[in-house]
Amino acid sequence: MGNALRLIAAGAAAGVLVGAIALPAVGGAGLTVKSATEELRLEAEDLKEPPLSEKTTLLDKNGKQIAQFYYENRESVTLDKIADVMKTAIVAIEDNRFYEHGALDVEGTFRAAMKNLAGGGVVQGGSSITQQYVKLVLVSSAETKEEQAAAQAPTFSRKLKELRYALALEEKYTKSEILEKYLNISYFGAGAHGIQAASKRFFDKPASELTLWEAATLAGAVQNPSVTDPSTGKAARERLLARRNLVLDQMLKYGKITAQEAAEAKAKKLGFKNIPVPGGCDESPYPYFCLYAQHEILNNEDFGKTPEARKKFLQRGGLTIKTTLDPQAQKASEKAIKTYVKTTDKPVAAQAMVVPGTGAIRAMAASRKFGQNKKKNEMSYNLAADVEHGGGAGFQAGSTFKPFTLLTALDQGMKLNDGFSTGSGYRAPSEGAFRNCKGERVGEPSHEVRNSSEGGGGFKTLTTGTLGSVNTFFMKLEEEVGLCETVKMAKSLGIKRADGKPLKEFETFTLGINEMDPVTVAAAYATIGARGTYCKPMAITEIVDRYGKATSYKPKCKEVLDEEVADAAAHIMSGVFAKGTMTEVGGIGRPAAGKTGTTDAYTAAWFAGFTPDMASAVSLGDPRGAFEHDLVGVTIGGRYYSYVYGASISGRIWKDSMIGALKGVPATEFTPVNHERFGGCSAGRCAPPPKKEPRGDGGDDNGGDGGDDGGNGGDDGGDDNGGFDFDSPPGWGEENDGGSPIVP
């Protein structure tokens, strides 16, 4: 009997399942299963079975699917969802005595050992379906290439370990449960993991509807899917056809089908339909939002304490993720962008919509299609988001940054009609006039910031300086309130660079020298709409795992600004549509506020605005390089522009999309400004009295700013149009934001 034992052990070393050593009496000797088990310590050992990778499904806020993605294309199903003929076929070819033996098939293993020894190598395998399942679990759970190699190494010790696990599984599960697990974990080729995915990929039907010849095909694919993968070419398809026919022969041999059934099945063509593998953000109708949601899981500690944990959480899948996306808002954004910018245009328009008070992202769109085909002008990253969420480096935000200086001034106690005289140019009085948050002097007296129209200056207030977007006024205002204080205000509203680098804290900070993304800017403006409550942008509200456990995610909000300060800023910025840089475009038929942004040398154009119900930001720039490819003398959307301003395209996209997004949503009023606190002007900051002229002043002072200050004090109402640096075409005193950072 010792010779028989060595004979089988040799077969195992050659690649046959070593479990065959646990033979009962063979020949005439008396080696028992018990004695062999004791000699080789074949105690059952529990196998850790990590959840299989499953597809993850994304839903919009209404519960409708908008995307699905996965690490492995798999959709696990219970055994009753698999056709009986499929179960019969896989057992016939892989382990015919599956229902008769335990953790190993002694008879089958001994037969394999004999053939392998006679052939001088591995001619026939001896692993049972249970042992094959063990191997697949070990390979699937391996996290490194070394672990994967170890899980498949043709060694005696690995085979013994597999057997120990198999012994435990046979005690833990029924045969049907093991078969179900095996069919769900197996790889069939063509990117299909598990029987359900394979059935859909190969034959465009669920596993419950498989016919005899289809089941035989899939059963044949399991042994060596890399060799029989039908998606790789004709030779592989021919090998798979041969395997299918072998399965049919085995089924006939074991009396599972008749000769006629076998002949009819063999007469069938392979029938591989090569159904496209579903999933991936590129197949979603909303690819940019899908990309954002994926990156949110990978980068947000809510979904795992470490990057590795979050990656595993996403890759293992089986998740149903409910998102914040609103189809109505999304379609409104896409329609508006399409109206003004073509997919073939080199400049790209991108937009994000965020709800004030929650941070929920309702829409995310761009003018180019998502994809890898550069010839089709497709874009493979998310221009509406920052780098952390799959985006790019962004574009300089221009005058959309001026409200942060305005908010700082209001927070420090300045009033609506507080102001000072400015010229057509501004120079820092000293290097120390501007200090960054490290205390470093960053003023640059040698650099002059000008109003782009190069018109004269005049007395500007917080109201008229903002509505006119006057560069020189905001440089003087930032000098007054402090550069670092302005930076801190911007940061409190969530402002950070799109590329993840530290904010550039130079004297021209207020003119928008930092590259931004629409999601971040929209969330900052939403803070004003929410009366000073900043909410971190959120795309995911609930995740249901594969076991049905639901986890909800609430908005992350905090009060960062005095409510009345936010109200005062909203009051001023609401004038942009009637008396400011959006006059030519107009409003949206409900209370709204905002700010245009045109960068230095017309490298990018923005509009950001808000209502109490929705905030949005639209950027426009050329991702090939904004400074190398500016917005001067360009054709966009089939229309030629000598210069592109914030209101030219971005402002119009914002208007049209907001009207569509808010259709059916009752309008909410802004909270009125507290005139007792912010009305009038402070001593020393009021407008000088008008000069007495015999024939009047030609409208130099209209006794206020037309209502923006409630009639408190004599603002300038339009004393010098050249000093109004409007973000509009020439004639309105267009804006040019002074641009590139000046490094002292």
Per-residue confidence (pLDDT) for residue 126, from 0 to 100: 56
Which value, to the nearest 10 degrees, does the dihedral of the CA atoms of residues 245, 246, 250, 252 take? Answer: 30
Per-residue confidence (pLDDT) for residue 5, from 0 to 100: 36
Alpha-helix runs per DSSP H in 106-186:
106-119, 129-141, 145-152, 156-172, 175-185
Residue bearing the bigger pLDDT, 34 or 22? 34
Q: What angle do CA 611, 613, 618 make, to 5 degrees?
A: 60
20, 110 in Cβ contact below 8 A? yes
Q: Give the DSSP H/E element, type plus range, for residue 216.
A: helix 212-221
Q: In a 10 Å sphere around its CB, with 0-12 CB exposed, 13-18 middle and 19+ buried, how is residue 3 labelled?
A: exposed
Average pLDDT over residues 491-506: 96
Average pLDDT over residues 113-122: 49
Average pLDDT over residues 220-226: 93
704, 711 in Cβ contact below 8 A? yes
Q: Round to whole Å and give the CA distance between 197 and 166.
A: 26
Pairing verdict, β 192-193 and 395-396: unpaired
224 CB-near residues (< 8 Å, 6+ apart): none
Would you put residue 191 in left (φ > 0), alpha (ψ -120 to 50) or beta?
left
Per-residue confidence (pLDDT) for residue 118, from 0 to 100: 52
Average pLDDT over residues 175-193: 95
The Cα-based distances of 699 to 590, 606, 693, 695, 721 in angstroms read 30, 32, 12, 11, 11
Least reliable range by pLDDT among 85-94, 116-125, 628-637 = 116-125
Q: Round to whole Å and give the CA distance between 657 and 523.
A: 17
- Predicted confidence band of residue 637 (pLDDT cuts 50, 70, 90): very high
245, 253 in Cβ contact below 8 A? no
Type of residue numbered 269? K
Per-residue confidence (pLDDT) for residue 704, from 0 to 100: 33
311, 298 in Cβ contact below 8 A? yes
Per-residue confidence (pLDDT) for residue 379, from 0 to 100: 82
- Predicted confidence band of residue 42 (pLDDT cuts 50, 70, 90): low
718 CB-near residues (< 8 Å, 6+ apart): 464, 699, 700, 702, 724
Q: What angle do CA 93, 97, 103 make, to 5 degrees?
A: 110
Least reliable range by pLDDT among 43-52, 224-233, 236-245, 464-473 = 43-52
Type of residue numbered 713? G
476, 422 in Cβ contact below 8 A? yes
Please state which CATH class domain 1-42+82-185 belongs to: mainly alpha
Which value, to the nearest 10 degrees, does the dihedral of the CA atoms of residues 400, 401, 406, 412 take? Answer: 160
Instruction: Match 């496209």 to its residue by tokens.
Output: 276
Per-residue confidence (pLDDT) for residue 432, from 0 to 100: 95
Residue bearing the bigger pLDDT, 316 or 532? 532
Q: Is 701 helix (H, G, I), strand (E, B) or coil?
A: coil
Q: What is the pLDDT of residues 523-561, one digit of tens each?
A: 999 999 999 999 999 999 999 998 899 999 999 999 999
